[in-house]
Amino acid sequence: GAVVSQHPSRVICKSGTSVKIECRSLDFQATTMFWYRQFPKQSLMLMATSNEGSKATYEQGVEKDKFLINHASLTLSTLTVTSAHPEDSSFYICSVSRGEYEQYFGPGTRLTVT
């Protein structure tokens, strides 16, 4: 069965609005979750590492005030895209890692900003 779930799977919003994406670890408690972004025909790029109970660590070039991450429990992390613009349209995927074992990915959320 699925290890990681995401909601919603697809969202369309108007430019200037905010969108929240949820990521849940279903199989184990995850102290760390990862958020990736994938543009068409491109690699998955790590945006930020979400740590339970503390501030997220953002990769270079990712605006922390635009992409708000909250990891309030060991099974839930949320990514909020604030004041979304068309260039934020992408496929957002979360992931959880069980130590040195495999990394599990969610089914992704397709965001389209019109």
> For binding to other proteins (CB under 8 A), which residues are involved?
4, 6, 32, 34, 41-46, 49, 91, 93, 95, 97, 99-108, 110
Those residues with Cβ within 8 angstroms of residue 78's Cβ, 6 or more apart along the chain or in another chain: 20, 21, 22, 23, 69, 70, 71, 72
Q: Is 87 helix (H, G, I), strand (E, B) or coil?
A: helix
How near is the Cβ of 87 to other proteins at its closest, in Å? 20
How near is the Cβ of 39 to other proteins at its closest, in Å? 11
Which residue lies nearer to other proteins by CB, 67 or 104?
104
Cβ atoms of 25 and 96 within 8 Å: the answer is yes
Which residue lies nearer to other proteins by CB, 20 or 110?
110
